[in-house]
Amino acid sequence: MLAWFKKSRRLWIVLLPYLLWIGVLFVIPHIKLFGLSFIDYRSGDITLKNYAKFFQSSLYRSVFLRTAMYSIITTMLTLAIAFPTAFIITKILGAKMKALLLLSIVLPYWISELIRTFAWMVLLRETGVISYLLQAVGITTHNIEFLYRNSTIVVGLVYTSMLFMIIPIMNSLDSLDDSLIEASYDLGGNFWSTMREVIIPHSAPGIMVGSIMVFMLNLGNYVTVTLLGGKNSLWFTENIYNQFIVRFNQNQGAAFGVILLTFSVLVVWITLKITKQDMSGAM
C-alpha cells in the first residue's frame, strides 16, 4: 500500500504542471467564457438574449454557415494535397530526400503565421510578384489584384494548416509494414486497389486526426482570413473579434465563441461516430 502511494504521488507530481497548464489556459477561460455568454451586456442579468441574437440575425447565421462551409472545403483540399505528400515521404523517398523534403515542409512553420501571411500578400497584391511576372511573360498588360478573394482565403488556409495534416498521416503510414503492400501486389492487386484496401484503411486514424486539427484551425482562424480576405472576408471569428474589441460587448462575443466551439465539437464527435474511428492509432 505504501509503495502504491509513493508511486501515485510521483505520478501526480509529474502530471501537476500539465494539469495546471490545462486548467489555467483552457478550463478556467472556457468556464468564464460560458458564464459571460449568459449575462446581459447592459443590465447584468442572466439572459439568453446573446444566443437569441445569433439565431434571429440572418447575417450572423449566413456568416457562420459560410465559415463552416469554407472550413470543410479547405480541410478536404488540404487532405488531397497532404496524403500523397505524406505517402511519398514515408514510402517512396530515400532517407536523405525524405529528410530534405520534410525539412522544407516544416521550415516555414518556424516563422509566425502573421509573417507567412504577409509573404502571401507580397506575392498576391496588385503590385506583387505574381502580377509582375504575368506582365513580364506577356500574359497580361496590367496589374492584377489577387487579394481579397474567396480563392485567396482558401489558398492561405490550406498553406497555413498543411503541416498539421501531413504529420499525423506520416505517423500512421510509418507504422505500415511495406511487406503488406508487396503482398497486395503479389495477390494481383494494382496501385488503386492496394491504396483502397491496404494503405488508406491503415492510415485512417492519421487522416482523422489531421482532418480534425485542420478543420478546427480553419474554423477559428482570424489572422490569415482577415489579411488575405480583407474587411469583406465574412468569417465568423471576425464577428467575435468585433464584439470583444470594437463594440466592447464581451457577453455577445462570448456567446458567439461558445456557439463556434460547440459546433466544432459536435462536428468532430459526429464525424468520429460515423467513421467509427478513434485518434489513438495516429498518436
Q: Decide if 28 is inside a domain.
A: no
pLDDT tens for residues 129-160? 888 888 888 888 888 888 898 899 999 999 99
- Rounded to a whole number of angstroms, the CA Rg of the chain reads 23
Among 8-12, 41-45, 207-211, where is mean pLDDT lowest? 8-12
Within a domain: residue 1?
A: no
Number of domains in the chain: 1
For residue 211, pLDDT beyond 90: yes
243-265 mean pLDDT: 93
- Is 135 a domain residue? yes
Residue 81 in any domain: the answer is yes
What proportion of the chain, given as a percentage, has pLDDT over 90?
45
Predicted TM-score (pTM) of this structure: 0.87
User: Mind listing the pLDDT tens digit for each residue in 221-241?
Assistant: 999 999 998 877 889 999 999
Q: Which three cell numbers stand for residue 17?
A: 504542471
Q: Which tens digit of pLDDT belongs to each residue from 174-198?
A: 988 888 888 888 888 888 888 889 9
**Cβ proximity of 176 and 203 under 8 Å:** yes
Residue 6 has pLDDT above 70, yes or no: no
CATH number of the domain where residue 153 is located: 1.10.3720.10
Question: Is 273 within a domain?
Answer: yes
Range of the domain at 176: 49-282
Residue 261 lies in a domain: yes
**What are the C-alpha distances in Å from 179 to residues 184, 194, 198, 199, 202?**
9, 12, 11, 12, 13
Is residue 27 assigned to a domain? Answer: no
Alpha carbon distance 141, 217 (integer Å): 38
Q: Where residue 35 falls among pLDDT bands split at 50, 70, 90?
A: very high
More confident residue, 207 or 275: 207
The answer to whether residue 179 is domain-embedded is yes
